[in-house]
Every structure is written in structure tokens, then in C-alpha cells.
A and B are shown apart, each in its own frame.
Chain A
Amino acid sequence: MSMVKTLWVLVEGLFSKPMTIKFPHEAIEIPDAYRGEHKFDIDRCASCGFCAEICPNKAIEMVKLPEQYTQKYKKTYPRIDLRKCCFCALCQDICVKKCLKMTKNVFLATPDPASLIKDPMPKVQGEE
């Protein structure tokens, strides 16, 4: 009896839709609360350094900006090392000004590890 049942389940499986999806062509929806790559809004940052303090992996370091920006942005700002980041979103939760946000971006694989260090101000073309 159980043999018949099992066969039935297996036959059913032959005609049902697969559970997987064809990834590059379609993808499952990522919810809004997802903890992906950071987005940093420098204009709202108060340079409090709480994010660097709470980071369990010490992936955030408060740094000064390159000289051409120091006129406008005089304080220190978080530089995030995504190689050390564990995507816990504690920095997002503790941010007073809500300037650090986790986005839905999960495509972080890269052949160039240095590109995973997120400077507070994106580097301008031609700069060292």
C-alpha cells in the first residue's frame, strides 16, 4: 500500500512545477527589510561615530575625506570595509540621523577585493 502511495507522490512530482526558479532570468522578490549593501548619505551624517563603535567586526572606520572635500566636509566619516562586514545592520539601527541604510543589493561578488572598501565619498575619476 505504501509503495503505491510513494509511487503516486513520485509520479505527481513529475508533473508539478519545479520548486526552483531560473535565476538570472527571474529571481525571488527581496523584502524591504533585507540587509544588503550599505547606502551612505554624507550630507546628513553627524560624525558621531556610533556606527564604528557598535560594529561587532570593527568593519567601520571613521576617516577624513580627501583634501578637495575638506572645505565642505570637515569631520570624519565612516569608511565601511565590506570584506569584514557581517551585515548585521547594527550600524543602521544605531544611526541617529538615519544616514546609513542597508539596501537590497546582494550582488557583491567581485574579482577585485579592494572595491569592497566603501569610502564615504565615492572616488572621482582619475584620482589616486
Chain B
Amino acid sequence: MSGRNIMTDQMSGKNPTGNEQIEPATDDSTEYDFYFGPAHSGSGNFGVKLKLDGERVISARADPGYLHRGFEKLMEYRTPIQNAVISDRLCVLEPLNWNLVHAEAVDELTGIEVPERARYIRVLMAELSRLQSHIIWYGVMSLGLGFDTGFRLAFGYRDYILDIFELITGGRCYPAGYICDGGVRRDLPEGYAERIKNVLDKIKGFMENIKSFDNLFFANRTKGIGVLKLEDAIRLGATGPVLRASGMKTDVRKDDPYEIYSELDFDVPTEKQGDANARCTVRDREMEESIKIIKQVLDRIPEGKTRKPSRIKRPSRTKIPEGEVYVRNEIARGEACIYMRSVGESAPYRVKVRGPDFLHMIPVLEHLLKGCELADVPAIYWSLNICPADMDR
């Protein structure tokens, strides 16, 4: 079978050249175009062009590019420590996770042994970031389903975690390369453990509250909607919670362990149904696992240095050894990877950023939206927990 046949078969209803001629609507025609985004509150800077027949979606076409900033090119002009600052902006909702991916790529190239304490701080911050990202997801999902209380609650509780970020990194949303090559940029301040434990208790209360809302608001809007079968999920390149909700027990933290994840005890929650509700359940349970990991890290965190070398080097003195690496990490949305190629200069020669949403927002979303009802579009859209920032880059 040639490639052409598969394409036309699976993306039917679309003209591949994009020069679609819109036929003038006749009086009895029920087909029309519908734009979901890009200026919709919560959808992010991203649009989906839907073709509707009455209330039913015939086909969907993702329309990315509203947030393209050319990070891969920007990184070719900057040294690792400057790139660490840029890597925050790869995704607004989980900057610390992206910090970690970038820092690991550079560490693997330079071969620096990261101090033990820094490894623990990195995991601590990455898990707090994951928790925070899942709380945002809950808020935006509630907003999409018209449950405003959940949205406000979630964003209120998220701010407690931002307080921690502010305390440790010095910024609420953007840590400015807190996790950088060789370790982390500064040590933890005094009394951090108590602050974090207090916040975790508050988050637990929040999670109990949202569980009581589940049957009322979530289940009846999400059950049986947007079913992603396991073979489709693998074919379309779904990763992370989306793939786990379809029944695949996989997690980069377990399968391809990085930092200290191989020493920590946590489960990988999976669901079998593959519908929007399963994806919600997986994320709810992942939040519990994250809290479990944070507690373990807080108990075990050793003393010692936080960065090697402790001082930041000038750009003209920095050098990345020649080589190429491909680093995989599990961030809140799925698999995040960086391919970095260096030729021995101060800046990397090529950086390829692979965000999980690149595949979730284009092939998976197009696949799931085909044939669903218009009213289910927000439920499917937000159940994937998508953010255009790391897709457009």
C-alpha cells in the first residue's frame, strides 16, 4: 500500500493542498464550518477548524502556529545557562519540567556528575510542577464543562504551589532556569519542608472536594466520550496520561528512569476504557502519586552541594563537548524529549524539542473529534490536557 492511500483514507474530507473551495451553502444544506478557538478562553492560542453536519462533527483540522516562537533556532545562539532561562517558556504551565529536560540534555553531553542533593531538589520541583499542572488541567477542564466553581477552586489552590515556587526559585510562574546544567541555581531556603507539607495538606483537602464533584459534573459529561483505543493511541503517537488511560502501563520515569526516580516508590495508574473519563481518573490518581513522591523526597533529601561547578561561567568560557544526545522525560502531559547536537562550541549546534502536545493536539485530537457531537468537543479537547506552547515552540 502506498503512503498516499493511507493518508487519503484516514484524513478524509480534507483537501491535502489546503486550498479548499468552500461551496456556497444551499438552503437545505446543514453542513457548515465552525471555528473552535483560537480566541476562546481556555483553548489557548490554538484553533480547530470543525466541519459540522448539524450538530455532528464530520472532520476536524488543527490550526496551530499562533504561539510559534522558534525556540529551536533561538537555542542555537545561546549558551546552556541562557537556554535554561529560555526553556521555561517552552510550556507556561510546567516550566520546571522543561527546565529539567534541558538540563539533563546538557548534563549528558558534558558528563558532569550532578550532586546528590541537586538531584533530589530537581525531582522535588518537577513533581510539584506536575501537581500544579494537573491542578490547572482540572480548572480548565471544569471551565470547559461549564463548572465554574471547579475552575476557581483549582486556580486558587494552584497559587499555594506557586507560593512555594516563589519561595524557592524567586518567581511565581517562571523559575528562570532554576534547574540548570550541573544542578540547580540556588539552595533551598530555610523552612521549605514545613511550607511544602502545609501546602500538600491543603491540596489533599482540595482533592477530596473535587472527588465529591466527580459524579455530579464530570462523569456524566465525560463517560464514553472520545474513546481512544490502545492501537490507535500507539499509532497516533499518544504518550503519558492519554496513553495510560487507554490501557498501556508505561511511564518514562519507570521505563527509562532518570534522576532518582528508580529509587522512589510510586505506582503508574492506568485505566482501560480510553474515554475522557478515564483520562480524568488517571490524572486524579497521578496527583496522589506525585504527593507520595514529594513526601519521599522530603524525607530523604541529603545535605551537600547544589551545583557543580558552583559558579556560573561566562558565555565565552563555556563549551559543550562534541556529541549528540536524546533525552526523554515524563512531564505532566506526556513524553518530553530534547535532541541536542553539539560540535564543541559554546552553544548547541542543533536542538530539537519534542513536546507531547505536538502529537496530542494534531493527530490525536483530529482523530477523536471526528464523528463526535459538537457539545462533546470541549470535554474531549480538555481531557487531553493540551497546551499549545510546547507544540508550536
Contacts and interface: CB of A to CB of B under 8 A. Distances in A.
Q: Do A and B bind each other?
A: yes
Interface of A: 2-3, 5-6, 8-10, 13, 19-20, 28, 30-35, 50, 53-54, 56, 86-90, 93-94, 102
Contact of A87 (B176, B214, B314): B176
Contact of B314 (A19, A20, A53): A53
Interface string B94-122: 00000000000000000000000000000
Nearest to B217: A6
A52 B78 CA distance: 14
B189 interface: yes
A20 B153 CA distance: 11
B170 A33 contact: yes
Interface string B126-154: 00000000000000000000000100000
Contact of B176 (A5, A10, A54, A86): A86
Given A34-B166, A35-B170, A89 B216 contact: no
Interface stretch (B48-56, B80-88, B255-263): B80-88
A94 B82 CA distance: 12
B215 A35 contact: no
B5 interface: no
B213 to A, nearest CB: 6
A20 B152 CA distance: 11
Given A6-B216, A34-B170, A35-B170, A89 B176 contact: yes
A95 to B, nearest CB: 10
Contacts of A102: 170
B228 to A, nearest CB: 27
Contacts of B149: 10, 13
A4 B167 CA distance: 39
Nearest to B318: A54
A102 B156 CA distance: 28
B177 interface: yes
Nearest to B169: A33
Nearest to A36: B170
B11 to A, nearest CB: 40
Contacts of A90: 81-82, 85, 176-177, 312
Nearest to B202: A19
Contacts of A30: 166
Contacts of B171: 34-35, 87
Q: Which 7 A-B pairs have the closest CB atoms?
A: A88-B176, A56-B82, A5-B212, A19-B156, A35-B170, A2-B215, A88-B85
Given A5-B212, A6-B216, A31-B189, A54 B167 contact: no
A93 B149 CA distance: 42
Contacts of A6: 212-213, 216
Contacts of A53: 314-316
Nearest to B189: A33
B312 A94 contact: yes
B289 interface: no
Contacts of B185: 93
